[in-house]
Structure 1
Amino acid sequence: MNTNSSTELLSNISYIIIRSLICTNNLEPKFLVLYTKPTFSMQFDTNGKVAQRKKEVLQKSFLISNGANRTDICQGELGDCWLLAAIACLTLNEKLLYRVIPPDQSFTENYAGIFHFQFWRYGEWIDVVVDDRIPTCNNQLVFTKSFRKNEFWSALLEKAYAKLHGSYEALKGGNTLEAMEDFTGGVTEYFELSDDPTELYKIMKNALERGSLMGCSIDSELESRTEQGLVRGHAYSIISLEECDEVSKDTRIRLIRLRNPWGFVLWKGPWSANSKEWSTISAADRENLKKQTIEASEFWMSFADFKKNFTKLEMCNLTPDTLQGDERNTWTVSVHEGRWVRGSSAGGCRNFPDTFWTNPQYRLQLYEEDDDPDDEQVACTVVVALMQKGRRMQRHQGAKFLTIGFSIYEVMCGQNQHLQKDFFLYTASKAKCKTYINLREVTERFCLPPGEYVIIPTTFKPHEEGEFILRVFSEKQSTSEAIYQQIAGDVSIGKWPDMQICANELKTILKNVLSKHNDIKSEGFSLETCRSMIALMDTDGTGKLNLQEFKHLWKKIKDWQLIFKRYDKDKNWSISSFEMRNAVNDAGFQLNRQLYDIIAMRYADERLNIDFDSYICCFVRLEGMFRAFNAFDKDGDGIIKLNVLEVRRSYFCCSAPLSIT
């Protein structure tokens, strides 16, 4: 296989497949480095800097040595403290950390010079593969590094994240919430500390106990130091909160522990390293607090000083109910993708009544109030999160974050038409975001009466184009499962001496891939189905699949899987033959009644259910049938005439199609 056709990094294909290709064929992994895809770049000021393999830096190296912790994150020359603050928070939750950095990777066993990392990206988890070439100067890492010189997980994680956004350059300056969200798939919120949010300490304490990630900063366009050692315009990680009794007073002092990714420039005020305040608490409390400060870049300060000195608190909750501290809550999560198109659907905010109504609109139904015995209010809690897509990656083209926000309007039950201009001229919004802001995401929490609503996501000004994802969290009949849905998994395969796979090899690979999916109940596909898959995707007529063809096949299976899950209401990994009609329509196949009857007779069991394996087999054959028909329909009139040879060829190409009428 031509490696030039594979330099498009396959973020949805298993890392183990790529690793096997490299090892089996004795390839250098440089065709997988960050800058091989046109939209990726390892640009940085050269000035003596080079990209070196780890073996060129140190012979004995580790991905993770003695566990990953905050001491492994030391900022280099890149201005990405916002990212490092989020990584430091990530190390506090081992489960989350190893979701981002899959285990069983090393510089020794099965080493191929590549590593993979997983990030949440606009509603799904994707795999990002990078090689181990890292920018260095005089044999020292230029960007993020570990305190241990032979440990490289933080540097490689930074590189993978740079690849996700297009280049290292794209990581200069950012918002900690972005990285927190990309590491968890959680929903983010931020607080202006000058507003003195009610019960802030309790909110933060509960959030930390439930694994939320938090950071803080002091607003400033440029980094500068305060008299007491804090850095304006710089991101800090929030590590913990504690309360202690003051010995000489009948009061309790609230303390907060912070971390500076720089590793120096620390707080010099009360409760700093050698301040007199430490003598006001018991020796036991003093020893306990100082024991928690495991490195020089961490420091304590009073919670009152925290609110006084910092201006912004950023919080990423793994589920929206994190702030509420009520584990009885469950949540329904819906995700909508959309775009604002100039002259069509980019209507701007309410200040522009002539075009506001043209914005995308999303219906929201809230019929059951929250289950909160301590709250007499009849209301439904809903969290709305509007995120703009791809702007950081487009920074090199001059793109900036748009100023975005949203409004919520109450409508009559059964309203399912696009609301027109007159409605907005005479109707006030029921709720809206506090402010329009030029960040990647704006999030608000509301308590709304039961009823029906329409959400209007907009840019501030009309005619501004962009793509977005709208997530709506409500407190009924769901869990946060969609946040942690894994799309692609690891798989072990045999040798591919020609870098192509036959039907038997495809069967083994897909069986191993599916076995790694907790959300897919399947023992794999039959050999006949795998032959049909190869007949469908084999564009070069070799009777085998190359890596690029496998990529397209895997995308097809993923897309069909999402449709299947939509109709698998009871999650038993089968759908009724009646629901199969809707699934077929959703996939874009328009069939007549006779074909629906044939599908039911061929694929449904005695209970009229179709399992996942049969469903995929059916879709593969439908895809082949339609592709064969379109190939012969030269004039596009929906009618074809075939001779005997053409019938035979279409039969084998689509592997026994259902019928051609």
Structure 2
Amino acid sequence: MSFNDSNLSICKLLTSTEICENPQFIVGGASRTDICQGDLGDCWLLAAIACLTLNEKLLYRVVPQDQSYSEGYGGIFHFQFWRYGDWVDVVIDDRIPTFNNQLVFTKSAERNEFWSALLEKAYAKLHGSYEALKGGNTTEAMEDFTGGVTEFYEMKEAPKELYKIMKKALERGSMMGCSIDVMVVSIVTWSGVCVSPLCKQSQHKASKVRLVRLRNPWGQVEWNGPWSDNSKEWVSLSKGEKDQLQHQSAEDGEFWMSFEDFKKNYTKIEICNLTPDALEDDKIHKWTVSVNEGRWVRGCSAGGCRNYPDTFWTNPQFRLCLLEEDDDSEDNEVACSFVVSLMQKNRRKERKLGANLFTIGFAIYEVSMHGNKQHMQKDFFLFNSSKARCKSYINLREVTQRFRLSPGEYVIIPSTYEPHQEGEFILRDLNTEGFSLECCRSMIALVDMDGTGRLSLQEFRHLWNKIKQWQGIFRHYSSDQAGIINSYEMRNAINDAGFRLNNQLYDIITMRYANEGMNIDFDSFISCLVRLEAMFRAFQAFDQDGTIRLSVLEVSC
């Protein structure tokens, strides 16, 4: 029976207790075997749920654990989804479509387990109906489960730094999936494979080999080429190297392969960059995310793409300030990495009303950091070309792309391809974590000589040069470029910055700026040096003979 079959009209909505005896919400923990596709064409959703089972913290954010068919059972369950910038709680009853007492849609291999079927029902309610779930993209569901921003790469068009992008993404707790479009020798096509959190370089026969660990969430099928579980390549590695790579020979759906084979055998990779509200581990290098809501209004702000110069400038405009240079010791280019995501709202839910996805995209223009913040006018776009733009306008729910641009201020212009098309959207940009508000205020106070609370171009350049100098010192002492320095290294770092302190002051600095692990992050490091710079400068202003005497008013300043 297919979803559109007339037999569907005779389906019965039965509660879990009517379907079987002793129903359970989750049996023995959630796993991929709990997700068996039914007669609804939503394999894209089920692939996302399967990947979600590999991360318990994320899973139980979507599927709260405080639910069962015994204690406190009232016939209802609730699930949480990310919805355009907010987390929403969706409450459903436990009546599920059945035919001949069998579940019609998603079911578990265990007949009395219902969490996956109920999750599918809640997701259908979020979008208005089961029918709305027919056809989709796995990345769409992953974002609704995590609030993340997803980017994808076609392997044949992947950037040369893809391995570095993957490695950095895993350091930030991102989730990844890869897929194959056609059958390939020695490997079986499946809907999705998750990239496990390990990208390593191994020393093999006097040369470095880049490796990727993958996991098939659907079963036991594995890669059997070079670097597979029992391949000859592992013989050349020591036990210590094998332990470091967590190598084990087992038909568990998890396997290693070289990055080169990975690129040859897979068609596409999707990276779901998780935002801070989805990450709880302080050790993870998190993105910072800015969320902007907007709408295109016909006759006012629905200007279409750059091909329509008379109206393009009327589109909504959003400012982006890039100051945090990439922390990459192997790259000498002064540039900032960031990801821009443009998502149109509610189009799947309104599809039954005839609403189709618009063809959308965006462009990025550089503007003066010290100019006014007003809406850029038509002439600006006639005489200035974009610094970056999305690869193409496309009729998907979301268009996402990664960029690297020089530090500065930019304006992002989201638009539909054609003008006069009305709709709502959210625009998100992710970039590496910037300075805290306290640190920013301290930096401005350090160089703001005229006390206006604003920086002139000369003052900004002076501050920027200081930050660059201190960043170089921080990188030198940062352990494995992990974005932290050990508190024991702080003495040497401060000395390199030109400050000579006594032991008591070093103790105070450690107590003030080190975390529980006795480590100091970049924000705290800069805050410390800014305060030291300000104190030394104040002392020198009053110093006549190596000692100073201050009034109460001067101390308060």
Pair in the same fold by TM > 0.5:
yes
The 2-side partners of 1:416 and 1:250 are apart by 53
Superposition map of 1:282-297 within 5 A: 282=235, 293-294=251-252
Superposition map of 1:567-646 within 5 A: none
- The residue type equivalent to 1:426 in the other structure is F
Partner of 1:86: 48
Partner of 2:311: 355
The 2-side partners of 1:140 and 1:289 are apart by 42
The 2-side partners of 1:280 and 1:451 are apart by 47
Contact 1:386/1:471 (CA < 8 Å) preserved in 2? Answer: yes
Distance change (3 Å), C-alpha of 1:203 and 1:445:
closer
- The residue type equivalent to 2:173 in the other structure is G
The 2-side partners of 1:127 and 1:426 are apart by 48
User: Do residues 477 (structure 1) and 435 (structure 2) align?
Assistant: yes
User: Do residues 61 (structure 1) and 16 (structure 2) align?
Assistant: no
User: Do residues 407 (structure 1) and 369 (structure 2) align?
Assistant: no
Partner of 1:187: 149
The 2-side partners of 1:225 and 1:146 are apart by 27
The 2-side partners of 1:248 and 1:152 are apart by 51
1:216 Cα deviation from its structure 2 partner: 2.3
Gap runs ≥5 in structure 2: 438-557
CA offsets 1:417-447 (integer angstroms, 9 cap, x no match)? 2222222111111222222222222222333
Task: Compute the RMSD of aligned alpha carbons.
Answer: 3.8
The 1-side partners of 2:13 and 2:430 are apart by 43
Partner of 1:166: 128
Distance change (3 Å), C-alpha of 1:291 and 1:139:
farther
1:243 Cα deviation from its structure 2 partner: 6.7
Partner of 2:345: 389
Contact 1:270/1:276 (CA < 8 Å) preserved in 2? Answer: no
Gap runs ≥5 in structure 1: 1-41, 480-661
SS state at 2:363 partner: strand
- 1:432 pairs, out of 354, 372, 389, with 389
The 2-side partners of 1:54 and 1:271 are apart by 47
CA offsets 1:348-368 (integer angstroms, 9 cap, x no match)? 1112212211111122334x3
1:305 Cα deviation from its structure 2 partner: 4.0
1:453 Cα deviation from its structure 2 partner: 2.0
The 2-side partners of 1:85 and 1:212 are apart by 17
Distance change (3 Å), C-alpha of 1:95 and 1:197:
same
SS state at 2:136 partner: coil
SS state at 1:423 partner: helix
The 2-side partners of 1:255 and 1:331 are apart by 23
CA offsets 1:72-120 (integer angstroms, 9 cap, x no match)? 2222222222212211221222111111111210010000111000011
Distance change (3 Å), C-alpha of 1:154 and 1:373:
closer
Identity of aligned residues (%): 60
- The residue type equivalent to 2:42 in the other structure is D
The 1-side partners of 2:230 and 2:402 are apart by 38
1:199 Cα deviation from its structure 2 partner: 4.3
User: Do residues 178 (structure 1) and 140 (structure 2) align?
Assistant: yes
User: Do residues 130 (structure 1) and 88 (structure 2) align?
Assistant: no
Contact 1:389/1:468 (CA < 8 Å) preserved in 2? Answer: yes
CA offsets 1:150-192 (integer angstroms, 9 cap, x no match)? 2111111111111111112222221111111111112221111
Distance change (3 Å), C-alpha of 1:58 and 1:135:
same
Contact 2:295/2:425 (CA < 8 Å) preserved in 1? Answer: yes
User: Do residues 119 (structure 1) and 81 (structure 2) align?
Assistant: yes
1:245 Cα deviation from its structure 2 partner: 7.9
SS state at 2:41 partner: coil
Distance change (3 Å), C-alpha of 1:289 and 1:399:
farther
Contact 2:173/2:284 (CA < 8 Å) preserved in 1? Answer: no
The 2-side partners of 1:342 and 1:437 are apart by 20
SS state at 2:68 partner: coil
Contact 2:326/2:334 (CA < 8 Å) preserved in 1? Answer: no
Bigger relative contact order, structure 1 or 2 (CA pairs below 8 A, ≥6 apart): 1
SS state at 2:362 partner: strand
CA offsets 1:441-460 (integer angstroms, 9 cap, x no match)? 22223333333322100112
What TM-score comes out, normalization by structure 1 length?
0.57
User: Do residues 418 (structure 1) and 375 (structure 2) align?
Assistant: yes
What TM-score comes out, normalization by structure 2 length?
0.66
- The residue type equivalent to 2:423 in the other structure is G
CA offsets 1:211-239 (integer angstroms, 9 cap, x no match)? 322222345xxxx756766448x444444
Partner of 2:105: 143
The 1-side partners of 2:391 and 2:157 are apart by 13
The 2-side partners of 1:330 and 1:370 are apart by 15
- 1:309 pairs, out of 265, 280, 296, with 265
Contact 1:43/1:169 (CA < 8 Å) preserved in 2? Answer: no
Partner of 1:103: 65
- The residue type equivalent to 1:454 in the other structure is V
**Which deviates more, 453-462 or 143-152?**
143-152
Distance change (3 Å), C-alpha of 1:422 and 1:117:
same
Distance change (3 Å), C-alpha of 1:114 and 1:415:
same
- 2:294 pairs, out of 319, 330, 338, with 338
1:121 Cα deviation from its structure 2 partner: 0.5
1:380 Cα deviation from its structure 2 partner: 3.7
Partner of 1:533: none
The 2-side partners of 1:102 and 1:317 are apart by 22
SS state at 1:338 partner: strand
Contact 1:101/1:118 (CA < 8 Å) preserved in 2? Answer: yes
Partner of 2:413: 456
SS state at 1:135 partner: strand
The 2-side partners of 1:250 and 1:293 are apart by 29
User: Do residues 259 (structure 1) and 259 (structure 2) align?
Assistant: no
The 1-side partners of 2:164 and 2:411 are apart by 33
Distance change (3 Å), C-alpha of 1:303 and 1:53:
farther
- The residue type equivalent to 1:372 in the other structure is D
Distance change (3 Å), C-alpha of 1:293 and 1:129:
farther
SS state at 1:428 partner: coil
Distance change (3 Å), C-alpha of 1:188 and 1:52:
same
